[in-house]
Amino acid sequence: MTRIVGHVAALTRFPVKSMAGERLSVAEVDWQGIEGDRQYAFVRKANGTRFPWLTAREVPAMVLHQARFADPGVPKTSAVLVQTPDGASISLHDQLLLARLEIAADEAAALIQVARGIYDSMPISIQTTGGHARVETAHGCTLDVRRFRTNIVIESEIEAADWIGQRLKFGNDEDGASVHCADRIPRCMLVTIDPDTGAKDARVLRTIAQTFGNRYGVYAGTARPGLIRIGDAVHLID
């Protein structure tokens, strides 16, 4: 049995880990998640840990760099363009971009590409408008949803955490994707960074930690590859 629990309000993929994402009208979902999501990342050359990534933790201004695929339909082979904070459009492979990040981080870095995506945990992140609104209420003011780098925002008053252990199906039966909701997403200092200025506000993470157990949204994995479109009905499969 299925029932409609909301509609797709926003879709975002992030070609480069920690850079600003690109909004989509249609997302192609395969077994690795949204096609093209987190396909590139900068790594810290001297870091031999399990988390070698150079991210906005080290360089908050990374969120001010807007990455997009030049040919959005074929992200595995497409060039990636980056709009810098000063408005210039350059190649992701531009050595000047790498040099600027290295100076900001004060360490050597390198760019890598992993076609299956470079995720901290699971490949797809989901939040509802109702869940986000509750965070804003607890915080006492509006919060730009971009702070949370969510792939799929669903227009619904239901808490995304209520779907843990269940499947969501998007759109029609012919080509719609479905996902399995797995667990709530732990949050880190990245949510403190303003996506427009790069300024940090520690109060945001404090609200998430103290009121919501340091969790925002849910992780999901692919249950059936397919498409997700803006406006798609979201069906909960009981």
Q: Is 210 helix (H, G, I), strand (E, B) or coil?
A: helix
Q: Which residue in this structure is represented by tokens 């870095």?
A: 109
- What's the pLDDT at 173? 87
Evaluate whether 122 touches 182 at the Cβ level (below 8 Å).
yes
- What's the pLDDT at 237? 94
What's at 100, amino acid-wise? R
d(CA 133, CA 135): 5
- What's the pLDDT at 223? 98
Q: Which domains does the chain have, with CATH numbers?
A: 2-237 (2.40.33.20)
Q: What digits encode the pLDDT tens for the residues 55-75?
A: 999 999 999 999 999 999 999
Evaluate whether 228 touches 164 at the Cβ level (below 8 Å).
no
- What's the pLDDT at 165? 97
The partner residues of 30 in beta bridges, in order of sequence, read 33
- Edge to edge, what strands does the sheet with 89-91 contain? 66-69, 80-83, 89-91
Question: Mean pLDDT per 10-residue run, the chain (238 residues)?
Answer: 95 98 97 97 95 96 98 94 96 97 98 93 97 98 98 98 98 95 97 97 98 98 98 95
Q: Which residue in this structure is represented by tokens 């999501």?
A: 37
Q: Is 4 helix (H, G, I), strand (E, B) or coil?
A: strand
- Kind plus residue range of the DSSP H or E element containing 203: helix 202-212
- What's the pLDDT at 238? 81
- What's the pLDDT at 115? 84
- What's the pLDDT at 1? 79
pTM of the model: 0.96
